[in-house]
Amino acid sequence: MHSHKEHAAAIQSVRWRFWSYVGVQRLPDGNLLELRLCPDCGSTLARPTSVGEQVTLLSEMSRLIGISLSNFGGAVT
């Protein structure tokens, strides 16, 4: 687990975008949190995000996954 101070530093770090993406969580108030795995301890960390930021991120991930899937030719349906 991370202390509040360590969590705050981690989500502001430039390393954040290199951590494994877990997904997005909608809070009861409608705000969104982006979830990533800490590479050191495996705990899930969250930071505020926006719909626009997540659409951009997921679109790029989708593009890269599409390229990877195309390497299987017709084997994947």
- pLDDT digits 0-9 by tens, 7-28: 667 777 778 888 999 999 999 9
The DSSP call for residue 75 is G
The residue written with tokens 């899930």 in the block is 44
| Cα angle for residues 33, 39, 41 (degrees, 5° grid) | 95
Please state the rounded mean pLDDT for residues 29-49.
92
Model pTM greater than 0.95? no
pLDDT band of 64, cuts 50, 70, 90: very high
Please state the rounded mean pLDDT for residues 34-63.
93
pLDDT band of 1, cuts 50, 70, 90: low
